[in-house]
Structure 1
Amino acid sequence: MFTKKRKLGRGISNLQIGEKVEITKKVEDKDILLYLGLSDDANPIYLQHDYAARTPYQKPIVPHIMINGIVTSTVSMHLPGAGSSLVSQTLQYPKPLYHYGTLQLTLEIVKVDEKKHIVTVSVLGKDEDDITVVHGEMDVCPPYPFKPVTQDEGTFENF
């Protein structure tokens, strides 16, 4: 277990300003129901067509935190990748993403600070009609290289 190396994302020295990743995710009922079941969030704007029809949205919307989850999973899976962690984020949601909508997400590295071991990633998400549904920035700590698993490296101090 301790000797098997897991595939990590790219370290800070291998990241450059301008690198980007683009993903597309169609949000289905099952995705929303899984989120709502996990979070116990029963906000009627997410579920009830009769309620949502009487709001400016006109129909149920995708929970914003679900969009956030798609953004953070893109960081974890693609840029910088596995082993990364979020330090801070500032995201805005100017328009809603509706049920059965498609999120076209672009993440781009806009700053690399090797001294602080942080990259700043811009976030832009649009729906299938090219309307911005999320934008902002995140500070991300890219993965650190593996530490050797030996007694003299201090790795076992928690055991």
Structure 2
Amino acid sequence: MLIRKSIKLGKKADELSIGDRLHLTEKIEDKELLLYLGLTNDNNPLYIQHDYAAETAYKKPIVPVIMLNGIITSAISKHIPGPGSRIIQQNLMYNEPVYHYETINIVIEVQHINILENLVEIYVYATNEEQKSVIEGVITVMPHI
């Protein structure tokens, strides 16, 4: 068992404020895609094969949405509310595909706090390089107690 005492717990519900936010900029590279595909054994050719994707409506490979979701949930676990928090529910829409090598801008923002139930709703919004919405929704998180 690995214990690291230097890691602080994230914020409790009563330590958060509506409007607390984090901005992220992420570029999806081949290395991350190959790691995901290897870990999940997901062999959808739309994610990696350029010749296959060229035959589809997308015209080029897209990023699996679960990878995008991982970036968002990682930010929640690391920053808002932070370490010790647990995601309870997700309601995300993937409005546009994200393509390989595309840079996306993600905002996560505290939208609602329920101190009695120890729940926080975090609004998620992401845009691509053309400022089109690629992800939008709400994630409910239980901060550490």
TM-score by length of 1: 0.86
Structure number with bigger Rg: 1
Match of 1:121 in 2: 122
Query: Structure 1 residues 3, 75: CA separation in 2 closer, same or farther (over 3 Å shift)?
Result: closer
Structure 1: which 4+ aligned runs deviate by more than 4 Å?
none
Q: What is the deviation of 1:6?
A: 3.2
Q: What is the deviation of 1:94?
A: 1.0
Query: Structure 1 residues 116, 44: CA separation in 2 closer, same or farther (over 3 Å shift)?
Result: same
**Equivalent residue of 2:96, what SS?**
coil
Listed as ranges, the gaps of 5+ residues in structure 1 are: 145-159
AA aligned opposite 1:134: I
Q: What is the deviation of 1:127?
A: 1.1
2: CA distance, partners of 1:51 / 1:2? 45
1: CA distance, partners of 2:4 / 2:60? 51
Cα deviation code 1:100-141 (max 9, x no counterpart): 011210001110000110000000011122111111000000
Query: Structure 1 residues 140, 3: CA separation in 2 closer, same or farther (over 3 Å shift)?
Result: closer
Q: What is the deviation of 1:3?
A: 9.8
Match status 1:45 vs 2:83: no
1: CA distance, partners of 2:3 / 2:122? 32
Q: What is the deviation of 1:4?
A: 3.6
Match of 2:13 in 1: 12
AA aligned opposite 2:78: M
**Mapping of 1:8-157 within 5 angstroms?**
8-144=9-145
TM-score by length of 2: 0.95
Q: What is the deviation of 1:41?
A: 0.2
Cα deviation code 1:21-67 (max 9, x no counterpart): 10111110000000000000010110111111111111000000000
AA aligned opposite 2:52: Y
Q: What is the deviation of 1:72?
A: 0.2
1: CA distance, partners of 2:72 / 2:93? 12
RMSD: 1.5
Q: How many pairs align?
A: 144
Query: Structure 1 residues 53, 13: CA separation in 2 closer, same or farther (over 3 Å shift)?
Result: same
Query: Structure 1 residues 2, 129: CA separation in 2 closer, same or farther (over 3 Å shift)?
Result: closer
Identity %: 44
Listed as ranges, the gaps of 5+ residues in structure 2 are: none
**Equivalent residue of 1:86, what SS?**
strand
**Equivalent residue of 2:46, what SS?**
helix
